[in-house]
């Protein structure tokens, strides 16, 4: 139809520049270690879930009350009351929700780099700028660089993973605390691999109003 634009031509220009990094599981290999896949198939969990289907009402819209049991278990596991916890469909939804809550299009997100590629991907999809601050040669956190970047770009959000992905190391707790105390930004610490180290910043959440900690079932819990 002449004179009509194609839908592809109407896609935001900045989105056309983003290359997809999606990966598909390869059944010919036992597990993709970079995605933390398990070589063991926990099929018994699926069987247990199927037995519970009779107690569900799939014809009803999801209600917050449906997660009460899960929140109760997580409250016991984390040591936080349920009111402190927010559930999401994967940590990526929590990352997205954090960005949508505190940032506007055109804002900057400061991230320690290299790290989880979904941070810049999601921020750029939302029309935000990602400021990548390289970690030091010994894999330690460049706190001064992060603080300077956050100040220069008036960044509402700082993100880092601890333990870091892909370097696998923990950042110094005193340095983490210094960054939280000396910045004016929301600081989000991604603790996807917390269960492998047992070290967490979650105990600081009650102390620092601008601290958010993300966790996930997709790693240690497979």
Q: Which residues of 90-113 are buried (b: 16+ CB within 10 A; e: fewer)?
A: ebbebbbebbeebbeeebbbbbbb
pLDDT class of 129 with cuts at 50, 70, 90:
very high
pLDDT class of 64 with cuts at 50, 70, 90:
low
Long-range contacts of 119-124 (CB under 8 A, 24+ apart): 119/95, 119/159, 121/18, 121/21, 122/92, 122/95, 122/96, 123/99, 124/14, 124/15, 124/18
pLDDT in tens, 204-221: 999 999 999 999 988 888
Distance between CA atoms of residues 212 and 160, nearest Å: 11
pLDDT class of 31 with cuts at 50, 70, 90:
confident
pLDDT at 9 over 60: yes
Strands 157-161, 108-113: parallel, antiparallel or unpaired by DSSP?
Answer: parallel
pLDDT at 158: 97
pLDDT at 18: 72
pLDDT at 205: 93
pLDDT at 21 over 80: no
Query: Maximum CA pair distance of the chain?
Result: 63
> Residue range 123-142: average pLDDT?
95
Query: How far, CA to CA in Å, does 59 sit from each of 50, 52, 62, 186?
Result: 17, 15, 9, 39
Distance between CA atoms of residues 65 and 71, nearest Å: 10
Q: Is 118 exposed, middle or buried (0-12, 13-18, 19+ CB in 10 A)?
A: middle
pLDDT in tens, 143-201: 999 999 999 999 999 999 999 999 999 999 999 999 999 999 999 999 999 999 999 99
pLDDT class of 2 with cuts at 50, 70, 90:
low
């Amino acid at each position: 139809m002449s004179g009509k634009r194609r839908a592809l031509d109407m896609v935001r220009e900045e989105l056309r520049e983003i290359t997809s990094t999606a990966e598909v599981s390869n059944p010919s290999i036992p597990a993709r270690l970079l995605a933390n896949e398990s070589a063991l198939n926990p099929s018994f969990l699926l069987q247990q879930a199927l037995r519970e289907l009779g107690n569900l009402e799939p014809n009803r819209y999801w209600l917050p009350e449906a997660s009460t049991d899960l929140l109760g278990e997580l409250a016991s596991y984390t040591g936080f009351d349920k009111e402190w916890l927010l559930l999401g469909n994967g940590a990526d939804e929590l990352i997205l929700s954090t960005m949508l809550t505190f940032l506007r299009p055109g804002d900057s997100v400061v991230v320690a780099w290299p790290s989880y590629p979904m941070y810049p991907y999601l921020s750029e999809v939302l029309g935000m700028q990602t400021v990548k601050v390289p970690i030091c040669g010994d894999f330690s956190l460049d706190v001064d660089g992060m603080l300077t970047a956050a100040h220069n770009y008036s960044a509402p959000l700082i993100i880092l993973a601890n333990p870091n992905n892909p370097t696998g190391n923990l950042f110094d707790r005193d340095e983490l605390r210094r960054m939280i105390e000396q910045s004016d930004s929301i600081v989000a610490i991604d603790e996807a691999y917390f269960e492998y180290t047992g070290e967490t910043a979650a105990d600081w959440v009650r102390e620092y109003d601008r601290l958010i900690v993300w966790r996930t079932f997709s790693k240690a819990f497979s």
